[in-house]
DNA sequence: TAACGCCAATCTGTGCAGGCATAAAAATAA
DNA sequence: TTATTTTTATGCCTGCACAGATTGGCGTTA
């Protein structure tokens, strides 16, 4: 089941652009890409359309396909996030996402306490109980999956679609954190208690408690992993000038 | 300079799908679309690629182009946001975005106080001063543009790309709010003071003050406009089952 | 008879090759 | 400098072959 050809081209070009192999400002020619990648014009064109929507390139007549600067890349595009996490900008990407979740998840917990359907409240209690169980056993593999599930449920239970879609990239950074060996041998009791407290608060419609305890979780994780992005430079894109080209 | 053909097709189909004219579960056939829209295969295919990336459709062999349910739509896609704001789901869209900004902007202000470059701090002071000036004069047109600019600068000054890209949709809802006549005849003194306080706090690197005052702004706007989405239903997409079709 | 499994026909997206039209940069002329 | 022509790469169109999934028929079996 080989993934479709144009997707392969999107993957090929996208990862190279984000990875810096193809530098910003480069001009790609559709005809060149045809020979180099040995595919037909239609797949090139469809791939370029997708990359253009992600903000990686823009194609104009008579000049070609221009590779755009990082500030034009759509930071919410799932593929862009994936490519950045696999590049030397992974520090900056982790920081952005972590800052985002550290403000979104407490609000999601607060909303979930008010709006979550009964089934999700129950499931949260189950998951947090299992997290404590496997966490104390030191079963990090199972714990990781439960952790991802926990945060995904809270985000979904907020009833805010935007929050819910953040579950996927957040799951990715949780996985990345364990893969990079940034997790303690077994989760801290403190963290287990906070997860439990969030689940309890949501199931009893205690919105303030849900927010507070989720906020505690966020503060801890922020402290734990902020070392990764040592001095990854921040990008300031002045909104005054739309700066097209 | 008419925008390119395939973009027109994206616009045509996208707005109709989000608007509900083309209901979820519909099957579109590329050949049909060719005659109906009177364009060639290539533009149809490129348009479908873009719509597929936005999560509006998925195309499979032997069956056609299936229109997906709203929970698959990418809520961070700028076009999806625009189409939703122009549809009968505008209440739900406003709510999502407002909830998001109400947690993101305070955090952005806090980060801006720490990381903002000098030029942006200065500009914030200027803009907030002008907001007070034109606000007290009752010049709502100029005030609106300054307000949009103010929040865009704070988001950009956070140095977080994800926050920065939210400036565009947030600007859209600020515009929408005035167009719908949801703004008072002249801005409240309270609101003017808070904006000023945010600018002051950021320029003096007072992160706690920046967050607190921005949070006040968010609370007020949330109260002012939450009436729009009366009882727009919340969508709960269970993350457990990936549910394909 | 009814249920099951296999196979072929069919339908539709995917990919290929080549053509012309057009817009915009670059070169040239005024 | 300004106006005009030339150049050239994308935009758009069309005909064709292929792949893969659905459907229905056919024969076998319980």
pLDDT digits (tens, 9 = 90+) for A105-146: 999 999 999 999 999 999 999 999 999 999 999 999 999 999
The stretch A41-45 carries a mean pLDDT of 97
**Tens-place pLDDT, residues B43-65:** 999 999 999 999 999 999 999 99
Chain A hits for B96, CB-CB cut-off 8 Å, are 160-162
Q: Is B185 on the interface with A (CB under 8 A)?
A: no
Residue A231 lies in a domain: no
CB A221 within 8 A of CB A237: no
Q: For position B240, what pLDDT does the model report?
A: 64
Specify the pLDDT at position B232: 85
For residue B179 the two structure tokens come to 């167009």
Whether the predicted pLDDT of A97 surpasses 50 = yes
Q: Are residues B94 and B56 in the same domain?
A: no
Query: Would you say residue B142 lies in a domain?
Result: yes
H or E element in which residue B168 lies: helix B167-179
Answer yes or no: is A49 within a domain. yes
Domain CATH number, residue B42 = 1.10.10.10
B153 at interface of A, judged by CB pairs closer than 8 A: yes
pLDDT number for residue A239: 79
Q: Are residues B98 and B199 in the same domain?
A: yes
CB < 7 Å to strand C — which of 11-40 in chain B?
Answer: 28-31
Identify the pLDDT of residue B180.
82
Q: Is A238 a member of any domain?
A: no
B45 touches chain A (CB under 8 A): yes
Long-range contacts formed by A144-148: CB under 8 A, 24+ apart: A144/A174, A144/A175, A144/A178, A144/A183, A147/A174, A147/A195, A148/A174, A148/A175
The answer to whether residue A163 sits within a structural domain is yes
How many Cα atoms are found within 13 Å in the side-chain-facing hemisphere of B169?
28
Among chain B residues, CA nearest to A96: B160
Q: In the 8-state DSSP scheme, what is residue A68?
A: P
A119 lies in the same domain as A65: no
Structural domain includes residue B176: yes
Q: What's the pLDDT score for residue B168?
A: 95
Nearest CB partner across the interface for A239, out of B76, B116, B152: B152
pLDDT for the residue numbered B242: 42
- Tell whether the model's pLDDT for residue A243 goes beyond 60: no
Q: What is the mean pLDDT of residues A168-192?
A: 90
A59: in domain: yes
Question: Could you give the C-alpha distances from B222 to A105, A125, A137, B6, B174, in angstroms and in order?
Answer: 18, 30, 44, 38, 12
At B1 the pLDDT is 44
- The CATH number of the domain where A94 resides is what? 1.20.120.530
| Whole-number percent of chain A with pLDDT over 90 | 86
Please indicate, yes or no, whether residues B11 and B131 belong to a single structural domain of this protein: no
B123–A contact, CB cutoff 8 A? yes
Q: Is the pLDDT at B4 greater than 80, yes or no? A: yes
Do B165 and B64 belong to one domain? no
Are A94 and A47 members of one domain? no
Extended beta strands in A115-224, E state: none
Task: Provide the Cα torsion A209, A212, A217, A222; round to 10°.
Answer: 170
Predicted pLDDT at A231: 76
Inform me whether the pLDDT recorded for A1 exceeds 50: no
Give me the mean pLDDT over the B114-141 stretch.
96
Helix (H) or strand (E) holding A60: strand A57-60
Calculate how close chain A gets to B38, using CA atoms only, in Å: 19
Closest residue to B162, CB basis, from A96, A160, A240: A96
pLDDT band at A43 (very low <50, low <70, confident <90, very high): very high
Q: Is A201 on the interface with B (CB under 8 A)?
A: no
For B181-231, how does the pLDDT look when each residue is reduced to its tens digit (9 = 90+)?
888 888 999 999 999 999 999 999 999 999 999 999 999 999 988 888 877
Nucleotide at minimal C1' distance from the B32 CA: C12
B139 and B203 together in one domain: yes
In this prediction, residue A56 carries a pLDDT of 98
If you count DSSP H runs as helices and E runs as strands, how many of each does chain B have, helices first? 11, 3
Q: Which domain holds residue A50?
A: 5-72
Q: Which nucleotides of C are covered by protein (CB under 7 A)?
A: 10-19, 22-25
Instruction: Quote the pLDDT of residue A68.
Output: 97
Chain B residue numbers with beta carbons less than 8 Å from the beta carbon of A156 are 236-239
What pLDDT score does A126 carry?
98
Q: Which residue in this structure is represented by tokens 């002012």?
A: B224
Do B219 and B112 lie in one domain? The reply is yes
Among the candidates A72, A104, A129, a domain finishes at A72
Across the A:B interface, residue pairs with CB atoms under 8 Å apart total 131
Q: Is A236 within a domain?
A: no
Measured CA to CA, the distance from residue B152 to residue A76 in angstroms comes to: 17
Pairwise pLDDT comparison (A226 vs A189), residue with the higher score: A189
* Alpha carbon distance A169, B78 (integer Å): 18
Q: What is the pLDDT of residue A221?
A: 93
Whether B103 has a pLDDT exceeding 80, the answer reads: yes
- Considering the domain architecture, whether residues B125 and B195 belong to the same structural domain is answered as yes
Is the CB of B154 within 7 Å of strand C?
A: no
Percent of chain B with pLDDT over 70: 97
Say whether A234 and B45 touch across the interface (CB within 8 A): no
- pLDDT of A244 > 70? The answer is no
Chain A residues in contact with B117 (beta carbon < 8 A): 236
Examine the pLDDT at B72 and tell me if it is beyond 60: yes
Sign of the CA dihedral running A39, A45, A49, A54 = positive
What pLDDT score was predicted for residue B42?
97
On chain A, the residues whose CB falls within 8 A of the CB of B49 are 6, 46, 49-50
The answer to whether residue B2 scores a pLDDT higher than 70 is no
Same domain, B97 and B217: yes
Q: Domains in chain A: how many in total?
A: 2
Report the distance separating Cα B68 and Cα B75, nearest Å: 14
Query: Across-strand partners of B65?
Result: B28, B59
Closest residue, chain B, to A52 (C-alpha): B50
- Of all nucleotides, the one whose C1′ comes closest to residue A9's CA is C15
Closest CA to A240 of B223, B123, B25: B123
A60 touches strand D (CB under 7 A): yes
- pLDDT of B117 reads 97
Instruction: Output the pLDDT for position B228.
Output: 85
On whether any CB of chain B is under 8 Å from the CB of A167, the answer is yes
For strand D, is any atom closer than 7 Å to the CB of B125? no
Exposure class string for B102-126: b at 16+ Cβ within 10 A, else e: bbbbbbbbbbbbebbeeebbebbee
Distance between the alpha carbon (CA) of B58 and the C1' atom of C10, Å? 22
User: Do B9 and B56 sit in the same domain of this protein?
Assistant: yes
Question: For B96-108, what is the mean pLDDT?
Answer: 97
- Our CA dihedral for B150, B151, B154, B155, rounded to 10 degrees, sits at -150
Kind and range of the H or E element at A58? Answer: strand A57-60
B112: Cα separation from own chain's centroid: 21
> Is the CB of B126 inside 8 Å of chain A's CB atoms?
no
**pLDDT exceeds 60 at position A242:** no
Q: Which residue of A has its CA nearest to B123?
A: A240
Contact residues, chain B, for A165 at CB < 8 Å: 74-76
């Amino acid at each position: 089941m080989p993934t479709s050809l144009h997707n392969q081209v999107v993957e090929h070009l996208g990862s190279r652009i984000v990875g810096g192999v193809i530098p910003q400002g480069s001009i790609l020619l559709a005809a060149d890409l045809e020979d180099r990648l040995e595919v037909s014009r239609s797949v090139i064109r469809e791939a370029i359309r997708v990359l253009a929507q992600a903000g990686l390139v823009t194609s104009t007549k008579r000049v070609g396909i221009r590779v755009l600067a990082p500030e034009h890349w759509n930071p919410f595009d799932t593929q862009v996030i994936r490519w950045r996490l696999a590049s030397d900008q992974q520090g900056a990407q982790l920081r952005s996402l972590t800052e985002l979740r550290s403000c979104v998840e407490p609000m999601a917990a607060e909303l979930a306490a008010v709006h979550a359907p009964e089934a999700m409240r129950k499931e949260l209690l189950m998951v947090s109980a299992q997290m404590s169980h496997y966490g104390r056993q030191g079963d990090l593999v199972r714990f990781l999956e439960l952790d991802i599930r926990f945060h995904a449920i809270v985000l979904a239970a907020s009833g805010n679609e935007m929050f819910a879609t953040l579950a996927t990239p957040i799951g990715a950074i949780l996985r990345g954190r364990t893969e990079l060996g940034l997790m303690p041998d077994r989760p801290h009791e403190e963290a287990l208690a906070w997860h439990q407290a969030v689940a309890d608060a949501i199931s009893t419609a205690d919105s303030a408690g849900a927010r507070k305890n989720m906020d505690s979780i966020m503060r801890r994780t922020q402290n734990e992993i902020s070392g990764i992005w040592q001095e990854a430079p921040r990008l300031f894109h002045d909104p005054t000038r739309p700066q097209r080209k």
